[in-house]
Chain A
């Protein structure tokens, strides 16, 4: 089995306009590698939500993606404020996004719920004042 193809992105924290750049690049790479469209779509959504969360809540972070035959692993690591109540954060419609972020169409309170829905595995390690690491694994469901 070939080793994983890895991609790493520094996600800029104060640049709302550029948010989504890393996700677009990952989507392009997955398409070029011939991953199934169903997996590409789910990975694009998960990656986008993670990227946006880092921009609007954590002043940026690092996104690492490992692509293997039949699976994609996404790790999003930030040094943001941490998530005080994870159960609440997982609820659809709950958001702590700023007014500025909401005016741009963010803050629907669908970020973590979307990740949960579209990833096959979701792990969130968060510590107040230290940061949050979100790990998602997506598998080819057609295999």
Chain B
């Protein structure tokens, strides 16, 4: 599934635009502890989190994550939106829980 398809199928808000809407997502990881995310996340995959500080952008870049999805209606501070846009990382948002989002992602892939 591409990032464009993810946004439309899960009705997500685009908080910052990344490098390419047509990039395929290769998997998904849910987590808020940054050291776990950086070592366990899926390269080229989707990262679902409720963390919304600037370090989220740094971790996404270092772990080759093209798309971050903020769950549970967590707000994105302007500085995070700007940093993600600058680094070419998509920042998406939804009011749904991480579980609901991951389940919807998995279902709409098949």
Q: In the bound complex, do residue A41 and residue B35 qualify as a contact, i.e. CB atoms below 8 Å apart? A: no
Q: In the bound complex, do residue A105 and residue B51 qualify as a contact, i.e. CB atoms below 8 Å apart? A: yes
Is B28 part of the contact surface with A, judged by Cβ < 8 Å?
A: no
Give the interface size bracket for B toward A. 20 to 34
Q: In the bound complex, do residue A105 and residue B61 qualify as a contact, i.e. CB atoms below 8 Å apart? A: no
Chain B residue contacts of A108, Cβ below 8 A: 33-36
Chain B residue contacts of A82, Cβ below 8 A: none
* Of B38, B51, B58, B87, the contact of A45 (CB 8 Å cutoff): B38
Closest to A112 in B: B35
| Dominant secondary structure of chain B at its interface with chain A | helix
CB distance from B71 to the nearest CB of A (A): 14
Chain A residue contacts of B59, Cβ below 8 A: 20, 48
Chain B residue contacts of A111, Cβ below 8 A: 35
Closest to B56 in A: A105
For window 40-93 of chain B, which residues contact chain A by CB distance below 8 Å?
A: 43, 51, 53-56, 58-59, 61-64, 79, 87
For window 14-45 of chain A, which residues contact chain B by CB distance below 8 Å?
A: 16-21, 23-24, 27, 41, 44-45
* Of B36, B37, B39, B55, the contact of A20 (CB 8 Å cutoff): B55
Give the interface size bracket for A toward B. 20 to 34
Q: In the bound complex, do residue B61 and residue A110 qualify as a contact, i.e. CB atoms below 8 Å apart? A: no
CB distance from B91 to the nearest CB of A (A): 16
Is B32 part of the contact surface with A, judged by Cβ < 8 Å?
A: yes
Given known contacts A27-B62, A118-B39, A105 and B54 CB-to-CB distance under 8 angstroms:
no
Q: How far is the CA of A16 from the CA of B79 in the complex (A)?
A: 13
Is A114 part of the contact surface with B, judged by Cβ < 8 Å?
A: yes
Given A23-B58, A49-B35, A52-B34, 17 additional A-B pairs, CB 8 A:
A17-B79, A20-B55, A20-B58, A20-B59, A23-B62, A24-B58, A24-B61, A24-B62, A27-B61, A44-B63, A45-B63, A48-B38, A106-B34, A107-B33, A110-B35, A114-B39, A118-B39
Q: List 11 A-B contacts (CB under 8 A).
A: A16-B55, A17-B79, A20-B59, A24-B58, A24-B61, A41-B64, A44-B38, A48-B58, A110-B39, A111-B35, A117-B39
Q: Footprint of A on B, CB under 8 Å?
A: 32-39, 43, 51, 53-56, 58-59, 61-64, 79, 87
Name the 4 nearest CB pairs between A and B, nearest first.
A20-B58, A110-B35, A108-B33, A108-B35
